[in-house]
Amino acid sequence: MKKTLLILTTLIGSMTFAQDCSDLFISEYVEGWSNNKALEIYNPTTSPIDLSQYIVIRYSNGSTTATAANAIQLTGMIAPGATHVGVLDKQDPNGTGQEAPVWDSLAARADAFYCPVYGTSNAFYWNGDDAVVLAKGNVNDIPNAQMIDIFGRIGEDPGSSWTTAAPFTSDGGNGVNVTKDKSLIRKATVLKGVTNPVITEFDALAEYDSIPPVYTVITATDTLTYGNWATLGSHSCNCVVGVDEVSLEKVSIFPNPTTGEFFVNNVENVSSIVVLNSLGQVIETISNNSNSVVKFNMAERKAVYFVQLRDSKGSTITKKVIVK
């Protein structure tokens, strides 16, 4: 569904284009099975940011309009180089249907929970075919909110999801679903959010990497795999946040991909190395090792892993390694 520039700019008000590393952006998108929804927001700047100045807006099924019921005001502070993980607020273990609880493994990653009541705010109830916007402003004045980052394409109903091949919609091409029941992490080369709502196509993999699903749900008719939130809570970005980030960015992993053994180089400023599998489980921990070699058992091979590096001041960076 195509809409004009005039309609969209009227809805959102005046917009400015973010400079590289100058404002928050979406660093991870989780659209998991049932109510497992989460959004990670990254601060690439050198200053703490008050999240109460920002809102998340959901444009559902090709809508070009949004009200306070489609938005939520964020809460808390976000430190330089840090992330904020917002999770859909479904925590009742006895909930069923639309009130089913988020899984414990996702809830454990949350910095804040949002939108417990759909009728009050449905901002965090995306389903793989909804545009999600991070904006600076107030939920009661959406027309004057400033777009900071856009996931998806406002005004387009892609069918069940956006996909991997042009025109990147499930009802318009032969691509593979990439936004429904999926987790996507922003590429480290992305330094700012998307602020132009009038894009001709939404190619999610241009700025995001798809994380392999890890959780299995068995239904009466099928066995399905969903969700991956092992990397929620930290983000690797080429924005230079400070001296500590500079030293961590120098760290390299090779070979990558690997067959089960890799080296972590330039670790003189790294106090610990933690390797996690796609479930977020710790596979290996190394401390104060200036020539680190990480080896995997045969059972741990052929998968995507995440190497979390921490320096003595507590700064962290996460790098992805593929074991083939």
SS3 letters for 22-53? CCCEEEEEEECCCCCEEEEEECCCCCCEEHHH
Cβ proximity of 84 and 76 under 8 Å = yes
pTM of the prediction? 0.73
Length of the chain (residues): 324
Give the pLDDT of residue 222: 67
Q: Which CATH class is domain 243-323?
A: mainly beta
What residues does each domain of the chain span?
5-226, 243-323
Cα–Cα distance measured from residue 255 to residue 278, given in angstroms and rounded to the nearest whole number: 19
Give the pLDDT of residue 156: 96
Q: Give the chain's residues under pLDDT 50.
A: 1-18, 242-246, 298
Give the pLDDT of residue 243: 39
Is the sign of the CA dihedral 283, 288, 289, 290 positive or negative?
positive
